[in-house]
Amino acid sequence: MMPSSFPVVRLKPKANARAVRHGFPWVYDNEIVTDRRSRALSPGTLAVLEDSERTPMGVVATNPNSRIFCRMIDRDPTAQIDQAWFTAKLARALEMRARLYDQPFYRLIHAEADGLPGVVIDRFGDVAVVQPNAAWADVLLEPLVAALVEVTGVSTVLKNSAGRARSLEGLEDDSGVVVGTAPSAPVSVVMNGATYLADLTGGQKTGLYFDQRMNQRFAASLCKEAKVLDVFSHVGGFSLASLAAGATSALAVDGSAAALSLAEQGAEQGGVSDRFATRKGDAFDVLTALAEEGETFDVVICDPPAFAPSKPALEKGLRAYERIARLAAPLVREGGYLGLCSCSHAADLARFRGASTRGIGRAGRHAQLIHTGYAGPDHPLMPQLAESGYLKALFYRL
C-alpha cells in the first residue's frame, strides 16, 4: 500500500467508528480529535481518516467550519482523487440513468448516494447544472466539470451556488457559467406527457424538480376528467401532468409570478392552456379564500417547500404540514383525492404522515391512505443516510 500524501484526521476513542465502517458517510465535529493542525485545515481539504487506533479508514473531505467535519470520499485510503476518479463515478451514475430514461433529463448525481457527497448534478439535455454544496466540490470543481463533459458530452455546465446547504458549509453564492454559454431562454422538458419550462439560471434550485416525476405520474392517474388544484405548483408540476392525463381543468397556485408564467408557457406549449389557470398568492391565504368562495375539486395536491429543514424547525414544520392538510381537505369533493408532499429532511415519514392525518381529521374528513410515494430512481437513497430519502408523498381518498 502506497503511503498517502493527504494529512491525517483521527476519530476520538468514543466516536462511532463502526457506523463509518458500515457505510455512514459523515463524521461530526465532536467526533474528531481537534488540535491546532486539524483546525487549520482549509475547507475542502482532503485527508485520510483514521480510527482511534490509527487504522486508516478512507479519504475524507474536511471542513472545520461545518458541523459535518468529514465526508467520506473513498474507502481506499490510497485513492487518488483526480479527473479519472470523477470520470469513473460519473460513468457509473450515467449508466443507470441511461437505462431508466429515454431522454437526457434527470438527476445525474444525487450526492452521497452516487458517491459524491454534497454534489448535485441535474441534466437538461445538452446542459448540466452543478450544485457543489460541500466545500471539497468547490475546491475540485475543475476536474469534476472536465469529467462531466467527458462522460456526458454536454456543451454547457452551469454552477448553481444558491441554497441553505452551502451556507451551512460557510460557502458563498458564486453562481455562473463554467463551460459554454448559458441558455438564452427556459429549457423545455417533457415528462409524463406534459411540457415544463425550466429556468436554469434564475429559477428555483436547478430549475425543475425531477424528484417528483413518479409522484406526478401517480397523481395524474387519478385526474382523468377531474377538476384539479395544484398548490405550491412551481412551474406547474402536478397540474400540467394532470392536464396531459385528461383533467378537465387545473388551477396552479404559487407565490412566484415568474414560476406561474413558466407554467402558463408550458401549458401553451403542451396544448392545454384552455384548461389551465393560475392564481398568485400565499398558499395558506389562497386555500382559505377558495373555501370561502365555496370551491371544491376532485383532486387537490399540495407540494410545499421544506417546512422542517432542520431538527430545530421540526415541531414548527409539523404544525405547518398539519395546517396545510386541514385547509386543503375541505376543498376535496366527497370521494376525491388529496395529495400531500414533504421534502423536509428532518420530518421522517411517520411524523409527516401523523401531521397530515391529524390535519385531515381536524377538517372533519375521513380518509383512506391509498399510496405513499418517494423520489424517483434518479434520486437514489443511501440506506445508511436517512437524509437522502427526504421526499415523501401521501395520497388520500377522502
Q: Is 330 helix (H, G, I), strand (E, B) or coil?
A: helix
Q: Is 130 helix (H, G, I), strand (E, B) or coil?
A: strand
| Contact (CB, 8 A) for 340 and 378 | no
Question: CA geometry: angle at 208 spanning 206 and 212, to 5°?
Answer: 125
H runs (alpha helix) in 228-348: 237-244, 257-269, 283-292, 314-328
Strand residues in the chain grouped as ranges (E): 8-10, 26-28, 46-50, 56-62, 68-74, 105-110, 119-124, 127-132, 156-159, 176-179, 187-191, 194-198, 227-231, 249-254, 276-280, 297-302, 332-342, 368-373, 392-397
> Is 302 assigned a catalytic role?
no
Extract the C-alpha cell encoding 206.
436547478
**Gyration radius (Cα) of the chain, Å:** 22
* Cell 405520474 -> residue: 217
Cα 286 to Cα 295: distance, rounded to the nearest angstrom: 11
Q: Which residues are catalytic?
A: 343
